[in-house]
Amino acid sequence: MKLTSMLSFFRNSFAYFALGVLWLLHWLPLPLLRGIGCLLGRMAFNLALARREIARVNLRLCFPEMEEAERERLLRQHFIIFAQSMLDRALLWWASPARLSRLLEVRGWEHVDRSDQQSTLLLAPHFAGLDAGGVAAAMRVSGVSVYSRQKRQPVFDQMILRGRTRFNQQILISRKEGMRRAMKGMKQGLPFYYLPDMDLGRKESIFVPFFGVPAATVPGVSRLVRATRAKVVPVITRMTAKGYTVDFLPPWENFPGESVEADTRFMNQFIEECVKTMPEQYHWLHKRFKTRPLGEAGFYA
């Protein structure tokens, strides 16, 4: 057996084993599942040194006024919440609709009302409950969303696809496919669950402030709304002791504005305000400030 084939065999075997463990965990009561997640989060904090430093840099950039000890406490909380949210995927992928309805408290769904035939963009920033918010929407309506393909983990990739399309008729688009299929779905009346706030590189990005730091941001929200005349309904999902609270907020007024840059700046400011309400639940493990303006030094070692 060739080395590449052996590596693929062991990688897939581990993936099936991990998914089997996740499937078993979904039978556990939520407090016990969260307790296991807490232990794993503490372990990850001590072992994932590179990710810990990335998150530490992000917190320092976004909360310079915060005492270092407080940022460190926030960092530890984030690792725990991140691990818990990963284990919660077992529930999102396999729990019965009845159980999910008890775990997902949905508020403001009336803002997704489609009786006016207007396209809808569901703006979902990268909080720990991102997948839970997507499931809450998928349980109520067919829609469109984007995901990052796991090329090195095809078993997990298929599970993600299956888990996110288990309710109604969902269209999942690879991030590399572009927005054409998403726009087509929106024009057909399907809400688009859109994740707007990651550094995807210099191409197609513009620099607008995020917590006062220039951040490479894809202006996709503004461009999609201008092309489809969609309304923007923010979806903010908060992890709670009982599960998740999913808030569908009122559509943005006077959006789009005077320019794509102004719209993107407004979006980042909106996300900032949401992050301040639950900073421990935002996705700090991503290199949000990796791409820098030309000539500016990077933040990450």
Per residue in 10-68, pLDDT (tens digit) is: 666 777 888 899 999 999 999 999 999 999 999 999 999 999 999 999 999 999 999 99
> Which of 141, 137, 120 lies closest to 129 in space, CA to CA?
137
CB 238 within 8 A of CB 125: no
Residue 5: the pLDDT is 64
SS3 171: strand
150 has pLDDT over 90: no
Residue 8: the pLDDT is 65
| Mean pLDDT, residues 257-273 | 97
**Cα–Cα distance for residue pair 91/190, rounded to 1 Å:** 25
Q: Mean pLDDT across the chain, nearest whole number?
A: 92
Residue 167: the pLDDT is 94
**Cα–Cα distance for residue pair 253/297, rounded to 1 Å:** 37
Residue 10: the pLDDT is 61
38: its two tokens: 């807490």
Residue 140: the pLDDT is 95
**Cα–Cα distance for residue pair 224/187, rounded to 1 Å:** 11
